Amino acid sequence: MEEAKRAKFPVSKGAALVVAMLASGLSQAGWYDSGKVLATGGVSMIDGAGGGGITPWATITGYGTKEGINGDLHYTYAPLANYTLHSLGAAVGFWDRFELSYTSSALTTGSTFDTVGLVADTLGGVTGSLAGTPINTGIEPFNTTIEMESIGAKVRVFGEAIYDSDNLIPQIAIGGFYKNNKNEDLLKTLKADKAKDWEAYISATKIFFPINTLINITARYTAANQTGLVGFGGPDGSDKEIRPEISLAYLLRKDTVIGIEWAQHGDNLEGESVEIAGLDLTGLQPTLEALGLGNVSGTLTQHESDWYDVFVAFFPNKNLSITMAYAMLGNITITPDQHGFYMSLQASF
């Protein structure tokens, strides 16, 4: 019921709401606060929540303490071998207790799916003329783009990540995302089960000052393929599973943090081929061979790898953070070795 309600909630209005709340937080001086110590607001992860680069932390985004509201605008750019991710959004932290975020991601796929497009076109020429129905794979002739919106909410449940150095209780937060992937046709071609879905997570974050280290452990309950950029679930449905994520950060200076992250990914589409007009390409092997495209179905097998990254985050002041990372995302759909640089900017108020 709750999910249905949220699904109907227009996403663009959600974004407007976040911006409006951000603006109201700014205009009402009594609400505004930027009292956290430099860097302790964390950076923005690609789904928009406060955290590391790919993992949400238990910290609430922005520099607001329990005395006020603060927020950020964030932009992430990750040019990989076959894809480029642009992710732009806003997030607001309320009284260091709640967090709301909105992020719009665009994954341009360059020439990745040109082979699929070629096959579809060729098949379209053959089967289309037979069946009389055009094939829509969601693949444009040039620069196919996957767009996704993520709305996130997080609540800090208990614990103190920073100052409770005399006990081992971490800061715990629970949160969730509602993600709406807009290239439904391409997701169908890639055999994902759903284009819209929610995911939930619980994060535990703690700083250990005597060893200058921050540890975050997150368990995410999700059915996402590549965080949802390749939809949710696969041919066997979209049952969610719990996937662990870990961030380890070393505090190098009061304004510089380096670290590594790992996020487990699923295998909903592992070993699957692509599907065109309801037909798996494997089943089309004889047709493809007749067309001289015999090896296509083999090279179009999908895989998904766990994500890793190595990052350095720099906080020149409380209004800006710059994160540079090397992201190792492995196999993404039909292309292997998707590694590359990652840059994320966060402006706080």
Contact residues for other proteins, defined by CB under 8 A: 33, 35-38, 65-67, 157-160, 162-169, 172, 208-212, 251-254
Tell me the one-letter amino acid at 349: F
Q: Distance of CA 27 to CAs 21, 100, 340, 348, Å? A: 10, 18, 40, 15
Q: How far is the CB of 117 from other proteins (least distance, A)?
A: 45
Q: Which is nearer to other proteins, 210 or 292 (CB)?
A: 210
d(CA 64, CA 28): 14
Pairing relation of β-strands 256-263 and 275-276?
A: unpaired
- Cβ proximity to other proteins: between 173 and 329 the closer is 173
- Residue 232 is given by DSSP the state B
- Closer to other proteins by CB, 19 or 258: give it: 258
In the complex, least distance from residue 31 CB atom to other proteins, rounded to whole angstroms: 13
The DSSP bridge partners found for residue 104 are: 88, 149
> Under a CB-based contact definition with an 8 Å cutoff, are residues 184 and 80 in contact?
no
- Residue 37 CB, shortest distance to other proteins, in Å, is 5
Residue 71's closest CA among 52, 91, 87?
Answer: 91
Between 252 and 291, whose beta carbon lies closer to other proteins?
252
Rounded to the nearest whole angstrom, what is the least distance from the CB of residue 94 to other proteins in the complex?
A: 15
Closer of 164 and 184 to other proteins (Cβ) = 164
The structure tokens listed for 5 are 């309600």
| Least distance CB 156 / other proteins (angstroms) | 13
- Nearer to other proteins (CB atom), residue 133 or residue 165: 165
Backbone angles phi, psi at 341, to 5 degrees: -80, 160
Q: Which pair of tokens denotes residue 69?
A: 């509201």
Residue 226 CA to residue 209 CA, distance in Å, equals: 34
Q: How far is the CB of 251 from other proteins (least distance, A)?
A: 7
